[in-house]
A and B are shown apart, each in its own frame.
Chain A
Amino acid sequence: EVQLVESGGGLVQPGRSLRLSCKASGFSFGDSGMNWVRQPPGKGLEWVGFIRSKAYGGTTEYAASVKGRFTISRDDTENIVSLQMDGLKAEDTALYYCATGVNVDYWGQGTLVTVSS
């Protein structure tokens, strides 16, 4: 059974940093690309970024709204994908999900990030 457990969310001041993690199990993590998707409270879904598997170079793609501020990385020994968020803004407030694969198959339960002074 595929399981994705996000962690690291919380309340952070504007301009500060936060690092989210997603622990994966139940599938071949090293062979899978991984996404981050966010959902502001009461609103729709916004794709944040994607990291390819090492077999495809481990390269990344980002939404324009986060490019240059957010960085996705992966640790295939621990089956963890991370989202480093720097220069946080109020509009980054959202529930952050990790999701598997370029076709966005499975989703975790999300971790809430609130950016406020």
Chain B
Amino acid sequence: DVVLTQSPLSLPVTLGQPASISCRSSQSLVHSDGNMYLNWFQQRPGQSPRRLIYKVSNRDSGVPDRFSGSGSGTDFTLKISRVEAEDVGVYFCMQVSQWPLTFGGGTKVEIK
């Protein structure tokens, strides 16, 4: 199974400052079709997860452009260019390149 390791576990950030979350995979996420299927989700307190990014770097509709995803092979990153109060929550990466699908352990973003 693909193991996704996120870091840091907790990320205190000052409002307006950037934030970066790492997701490292135990195996290459290159699918047989040549794409890499790595998603990022945001889970605000008391809410269901919401997908922000799919296929490494594609932003979902309605997601602010301060969120960006990048990476290749086994190393992936979610960046928030300027953290806002509404960004507080837990962020998860997830690979859908191979079965079984797996999630990272999550990174909690909080305001300093």
Contact = CB atoms under 8 A, between A and B. Distances in A.
A44 interface: yes
Contacts of A45: 41, 49, 92, 94, 103, 106
Interface in A60-109: 61-64, 97, 102-109
A114 B46 CA distance: 18
Nearest to B51: A105
A108 B51 CA distance: 12
Contacts of A46: 103
Contacts of A97: 48-49
B39 interface: yes
B51 A104 contact: yes
Helix, strand, loop or mixed for chain B's interface?
A: loop
A72 B102 CA distance: 18
A107 B50 contact: yes
Nearest to A50: B101
B67 interface: no
Chief secondary structure at chain A's binding surface: loop
Contacts of A35: 101
A47 B103 contact: yes
B100 A63 contact: yes
Nearest to B49: A107
A69 B60 CA distance: 34
A90 to B, nearest CB: 21
- Give 8 nearest A-B pairs by CB, closest first: A47-B101, A107-B48, A45-B103, A44-B106, A61-B99, A63-B100, A44-B105, A107-B49
29 contacts: A35-B101, A44-B90, A44-B92, A44-B103, A44-B105, A45-B49, A45-B103, A46-B103, A47-B100, A47-B101, A47-B103, A50-B101, A61-B100, A61-B101, A64-B100, A97-B49, A102-B96, A103-B51, A103-B54, A103-B55, A104-B41, A104-B94, A104-B101, A105-B51, A105-B54, A105-B60, A107-B48, A107-B49, A107-B50
